[in-house]
Each structure stands twice: as C-alpha cells, then as structure tokens.
C-alpha cells in the first residue's frame, strides 16, 4: 500500500518523554507513509498514547525530532497539528452533547466568520460523509446519537479540517462488533482516498483486520515493526507482553449447583429517572459463570447496583442464596457473601488517596482478626495486605503507597484481591478486564474461573465477545435494559451475539444463524 515509499509522510526520530518516575517513550522512531494504516500495539503504559499525544501537539517531547513530509516541525499545540493535517480521535470523545453534529464539526474553527455559512458547511459535510460512507444525521444533537455515530462525527470533524493523518485511540473499545466492522470499512475507504491513519490498540484481532503495518511498543521502547501480513496474533501477543501468552484458560467441566442469585421481574431506573432495567429475570448458579453481553450503557451497571444494594428496584425481587434481599442495604448484601468489582474503579472501586493496605482491607476491616469491636490492628492489617499483594502479584512499592500512584492494572488487581477474598457466594464483576493489558487481563480471567471452579457463582459483565465465549457458561445479552436472550456459552456465535447486542432478534431477521 505504500504509494510513495520514497518519502515518509511522518517521521518521528528518537522521541523521548518522561514523566515523574516513568520513562514513557524511550528513543522511539516511527515512520508513516501516505495511504498507510499503522497499528500501534502495546500494553497499558507502553507509551502508545504518549507518543500520539506528542504527535498531535498535546505533549512536547523531552528530545527527538518530528518531520512531516520531510520538513522538520515543532508541534506546540493541537492547533499546530491541525495546520499540519494531523488530527486525533480521543478515547473519550470531545463533543458538546447539547449541540448538533454540524455545530460540533465547526466548533473552535477560527476561519468560519462571525456568522458561519451553515448552508455551505452542510453541503461540505454531506459530501464528506458521502465520500467516506460516514452516515450521520447532520442536524441531530450529539446526545441523541449512539456511541458509534458519535465516533463518526469525530472522524468527520477531522476530515472537515482537512486532516491527512488520523490518529485513533482505541477506536473499537466502545463499539459493537457490527459498528467495528463499519469502522474498518471507513478506514479502508480513507486509505483508498490517500489518507493515512495510526490507531492505538491492545487487541490483536484489530491489528490483523485494520492495519498494513504494525509497531509494537513495550515499556516505552519499540520492540518490533512488521508488515501485518507477515505476522500472527500469537507472535504479536508474545512481542507485546515479552513472553508467551496462554489464550486458553482451563476450566473444570460445567456442573452447576443450586441457584445463588435469583432475579425476578426486576425493574429499576437510572440516575436520570429513566427506565434502566425492564423485567429482568436471571439466575446465577453455584459453579457457573453467567456472562452479560451488551454494549456499555444498556443497563449493565444498574443491574450490578440493584443486586449489591446500591440502587433501588422499582419492582421485582432479588434473592441471594435463597434469602430475599430486595432493596437491602449494601452492608447486608456484603454480609450475604456478595463481592462486587464495580465499573468505576477510580471513584468507587478504589480510593486513590488512601494506601494500598487501606484499600485492601476495606471489606475485611469489620472482622476479626483485623478488628475487635471498634478497634483496628494496624500491624495485622499490614500483614493481611502483604499477603494479598503477594498472592495477587500486585506490583506496588509498599503497602503504604497511595493507590492513585499504581498503574491501571494494579489498581484493578487491588480491587479484585479485596473482593475475591471477601467473596463467599457470588462475585459480580463489571468490565473487569476493560483497559487492561494482556498480562493483567489473563490474571483477571483466571481469577474469575477459579472462583467458579471453587463453586461460587460469578456474574460477569463484558463487551468483549471473545472473552465471554471463553469464560461464560451461560451468556445473557442485554439491550436497552432487557435481556434479549440467554444462551449456553459454547453455542453462541459472534454474529448472533452481535445482532442481539444491537437489539435485533436473529431468529426474526435471518434463520441461518441458528446453529
């Protein structure tokens, strides 16, 4: 695909950037040619985002040079980057919810005049969306759009600003499989129009489907740069982690026991007072992993909160271990042996300003031997914390280090360590491996399976179909607060699940997918 291989479009040479205590980029070289899609692969904290933030003007390198079309440049701000034709779609979209698509596209552009010529702008936006098959309603407000559509608006915004080099930061993290496929078509389209793209990911499959060239970063250094066609997911995983990764996790044969969690006709509202759960019936049995599939925001968080007592049900009943715990207090649910790895790790799951030891004992501190009556025993707490840090391989300088200084993977391990230790009945894990690198993901998955193998019930929310297929004994698909279908884990294929996640009953639309 290298049309103009004589001169690279982007050259980054010897880029170094460090933050307090970490070297994020250590002499990184990067070359991107016109019409090429480059995948930037690496674990969390490998320095992918830092490198791209340097290219789009958010960070400045400590040393190193950047050349665009052979010219040496200093990119001091996103504005400079835009002038050079570089644009980035961030993981969290930078759109104004209450404004329309068109308004968002021109927002912040200085050359639009005092009263922008909306007719002309609309015409151009429509042209662009036609050319790149970026279907979106130009007059809709952002809040009305799905996540996939919002992403298209972000891409349109860049194209409108004449970006030649698009940087996408984990673009598929929030998409359904169908939407991801759309995105892959869009990227191919852009490539055929001569644009280049760099996308950040830690998923092997995406590298294989999206890219021409792949660059693997590990601990701030480039460990490999290869044509995608010449490599395999397995090789990439090994390069990324620095050791062989076992994709298979051994599970004991499935032999479920009695029901631990029974939800009957549960309804609940979200924070805005809209119906978030609609007549949910769901059981989790001992020794079973029930996977909740679905695109984020379809009621998964509310489901977990209703069970753990953090959200009230408006009707229906919640039974845990045969005991009615409908609208019980969080403490009652904890005492019933339920552990919860919440979606929001930094605000809810962990307390960043407190030490690792404090975070590890936030459930067990009520019990002997960590406390008797009202009194806590700091030395026992610290011994308890040390044991967990070792058992769960949490990498932290000390038990007293504040959690906010740990990496994302270690924060999650801290939460898991605490919850699994406190779990005696049911483990609820909401996106437990989201944003984690391969090594940490593997550790998290193993923990879930080992809970199941010990005869506990596991309710496991994920958006990653492969992960669900691998771990879940039973998969329930959620869409807009309802359960679309409950399928045995092994039998469901990706396409069926994808359609269900998008709210389509496959049996109605196409018969052949029933295998």
Partner 1 sequence: MKMVFEKRKNVSIGAQFLVPIISFLISLLLSGIMLAVFGSNPFTTFAAMFKGAFGSMNGFSETLVKAIPLMLTGLGVALAFKLKFWNIGAEGQLTMGGVATAWVALFWGNGIQGPLLLVVALLAGCVSGALWAGIPAFLKTRLKVDETLVTLMLNYVAILFSEYLYYGPWRDPKGYGFPGSAPFPENAWLPRIAGRAHAGLFFAIALALILWIVLRRTRWGFEISIIGASPKAARYQGISVERTIMLTMLVSGALSGLAGACEVTGISHRLQQGLSLGYGNTAIIIAWMSQLNPLAVPFVSLIMAGIMVGGDQVQLMMGLPSAVGTVIQGLILFPMLAGSLFTEYRVRWIKADRKPVCVEGGA
Contact positions toward partner 1, by CB under 8 A? 20-21, 60, 68-69, 71-77, 80, 83-85, 164, 308, 310, 329-331, 333-335, 340, 342, 344, 347-354, 358, 362-363, 365-366, 371, 374-376, 378, 397, 400-402, 405
Six token digits for residue 245:
């990764």
Q: How far is the CB of 340 from partner 1 (least distance, A)?
A: 7
Give Cα separations from 171 to 127, 182, 366 (angstroms).
23, 12, 43
Least separation, in Å, of the C-beta of 69 and partner 1? 7
Q: How far is the CB of 486 from partner 1 (least distance, A)?
A: 28
170 to each of 113, 164, 175, 198, how far by Cα in Å?
34, 19, 10, 10
Contact partners, residue 84, CB within 8 Å, separation at least 6 = 68, 73, 75
Nearest distance, CB of residue 409 and partner 1, angstroms: 18
Which CB sits closer to partner 1, 267 or 351? 351
State which residue, 220 or 342, has the beta carbon closest to partner 1: 342
**What letter does residue 513 receive in the DSSP assignment?**
T
To partner 1, the closest distance from the beta carbon of 127 in angstroms equals 21
DSSP 505: -
Nearer to partner 1, 193 or 466 (CB): 193
- CB closer to partner 1, 358 vs 433: 358
Q: In the complex with partner 1, which residue's Cβ is closer, 57 or 498?
A: 57
Nearest-angstrom CA–CA distance, 136 and 148: 10
Q: Which is nearer to partner 1, 102 or 428 (CB)?
A: 428
Alpha helices in 139-192 (DSSP H): 147-160, 177-192
Closest by CA to 103, choosing from 130, 140, 77, is: 140
CA torsion angle 93 95 97 103 (round to 10): -150
Can you tell me the distance from the alpha carbon of 14 to that of 25, in angstroms, rounded to the nearest whole number?
A: 9
Structure token digits, residue 61: 């390198």
Rounded to the nearest whole angstrom, what is the least distance from the CB of residue 342 to partner 1 in the complex? 6
Residue whose CB is less far from partner 1, 198 or 304: 304
Q: Is 414 left (phi over 0), alpha (psi -120 to 50) or beta?
A: alpha
Q: Give min distance, CB of 203 to partner 1, in A.
A: 29
């Amino acid at each position: 695909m290298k049309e103009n291989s004589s001169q690279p479009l982007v050259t980054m040479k010897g880029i170094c950037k460090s933050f307090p205590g970490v070297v994020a980029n250590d002499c990184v070289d990067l070359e991107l040619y016109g019409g090429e899609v480059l995948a930037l692969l690496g674990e969390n904290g490998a320095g992918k985002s830092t490198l791209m933030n340097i290219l789009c003007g958010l960070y400045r390198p400590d040393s190193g040079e950047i050349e665009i079309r052979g010219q040496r440049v200093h990119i001091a701000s996103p504005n400079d980057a835009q002038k050079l034709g570089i644009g980035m779609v961030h993981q969290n979209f930078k759109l104004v919810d209450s404004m329309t698509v068109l308004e968002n596209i021109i927002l912040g552009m200085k050359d639009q005049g005092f009263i922008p010529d909306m007719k002309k702008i609309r015409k151009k936006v429509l042209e662009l969306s036609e050319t790149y098959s970026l279907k979106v309603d130009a007059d809709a407000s952002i809040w009305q759009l799905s996540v996939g559509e919002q992403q298209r608006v972000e891409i349109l915004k860049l194209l409108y600003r004449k970006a030649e080099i698009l940087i996408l930061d984990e673009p598929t993290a929030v998409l359904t499989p169908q939407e991801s496929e759309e995105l892959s078509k869009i990227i191919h389209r852009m490539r055929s129009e001569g644009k280049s793209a760099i996308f950040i990911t830690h998923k092997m499959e995406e590298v294989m489907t999206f890219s021409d060239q792949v660059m693997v970063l590990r601990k701030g250094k480039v460990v490999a740069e290869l044509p995608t066609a010449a490599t395999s997911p397995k090789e990439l995983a090994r390069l990324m982690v620095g050791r062989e990764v076992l994709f298979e996790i051994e599970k004991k044969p499935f032999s479920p026991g009695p029901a631990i969690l029974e939800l009957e006709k549960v309804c609940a509202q979200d924070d805005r007072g809209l119906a978030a759960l609609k007549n949910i019936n769901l059981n989790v049995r001992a020794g079973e992993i029930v996977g909740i599939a679905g695109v984020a925001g379809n009621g998964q968080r509310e489901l977990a909160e209703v069970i753990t007592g953090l959200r009230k049900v408006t009707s229906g009943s919640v039974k845990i271990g045969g005991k009615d715990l409908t609208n019980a207090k969080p403490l009652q649910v904890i005492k019933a042996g339920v552990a919860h790895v919440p979606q929001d790790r930094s605000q809810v799951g962990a307390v960043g300003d407190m030490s690792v030891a404090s975070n590890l004992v936030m459930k067990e501190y009520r019990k002997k031997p960590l406390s008797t009556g009202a009194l806590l025993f700091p030395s026992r707490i610290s011994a308890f914390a040390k044991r967990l840090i070792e058992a769960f391989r949490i990498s932290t300088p000390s038990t007293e280090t504040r959690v906010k200084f740990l990496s994302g993977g270690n924060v999650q391990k801290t939460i898991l360590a605490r919850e699994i230790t406190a779990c005696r009945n049911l483990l609820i894990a909401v996106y437990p491996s989201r944003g984690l690198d391969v090594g940490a993901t593997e550790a998290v998955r193993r923990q879930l399976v080992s809970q199941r193998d010990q005869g506990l019930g596991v309710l496991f929310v994920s958006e990653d179909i492969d992960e669900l297929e691998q771990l879940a004994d039973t998969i329930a698909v959620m869409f807009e607060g309802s359960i679309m279908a409950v399928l045995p884990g092994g039998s469901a294929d990706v396409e069926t699940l994808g359609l269900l996640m998008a709210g389509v009953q496959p049996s109605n639309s196409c018969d052949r997918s029933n295998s």
